[in-house]
């Protein structure tokens, strides 16, 4: 009986240690068969450029004089997953950029040139392997930003 109790204690200790290591690493084990994906978007921004894997500014609107636009995301705990930036205008998908996340912290960005005849609200959705929207942001594209 003592051997069975000792083996049980060792098994419980081992499982506890493995679970603790997983939490410490900031990773949720990824198994697409489970239908649940871990991870999060810790930062995101529309920006005019990305330098050294960081956005240079944070835009709340963009005008037709500067139509080149980036969308930046800082992904946490999504190693091994595929993430897509889906750019939409008036409910239509205009562009998609897909990334394979290669580390516990992964910075990814996509860019597009906004056509001058497509003023209005643009949406970027961050899509996971299960085609679920895990994050979404909108930006207004205007003819000219008033500078008061």
pLDDT averaged over 10-residue windows placed end to end, the chain, 148 residues: 62 52 44 63 97 97 94 96 97 97 97 96 96 96 80
Q: Which of 95, 87, 78, 90 is nearest to 39 (CA)?
A: 78
The CATH class of the 39-142 domain is mainly beta
> Helices (DSSP H) in the chain: which residue ranges?
2-24
* Residue 48 and residue 67 in contact, taking contact as beta carbons nearer than 8 Å: no
pLDDT value of residue 38: 82
Distance CA 84, CA 34 (A): 20
Q: Are 15 and 108 in contact (CB under 8 A)?
A: no
CA 19 from chain center: how many Å? Answer: 25
pLDDT at position 10, please? Answer: 61
pLDDT at 12: 60
What's the pTM?
0.74
Residue 116 is classified by DSSP as: T
Distance CA 148, CA 145 (A): 9
Find, among 53, 144, 72, the residue nearest to 112 by Cα: 72
Residue 20: per-residue pLDDT: 45
Structural domain spans, the chain: 1-28, 39-142
């Amino acid at each position: 009986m003592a051997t069975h109790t000792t083996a049980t204690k060792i098994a419980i200790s081992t499982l506890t240690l493995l679970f603790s290591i997983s939490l410490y690493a900031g990773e949720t084990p990824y198994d697409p068969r489970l239908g649940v994906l871990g991870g999060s978007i810790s930062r995101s921004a529309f920006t005019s450029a990305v330098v050294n894997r960081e956005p240079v500014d944070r835009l709340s609107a963009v005008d037709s004089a500067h139509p080149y636009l980036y969308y930046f995301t800082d992904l946490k705990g999504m190693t091994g997953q595929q993430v897509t930036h889906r750019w939409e205008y008036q409910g239509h998908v205009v562009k998609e950029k897909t990334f394979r996340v290669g580390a516990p912290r992964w910075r990814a960005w996509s860019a597009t040139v906004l056509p001058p005849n497509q003023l209005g609200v643009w949406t970027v959705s961050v899509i996971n392997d299960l085609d679920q929207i895990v994050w979404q942001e909108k930006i207004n594209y205007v003819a000219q930003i008033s500078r008061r």
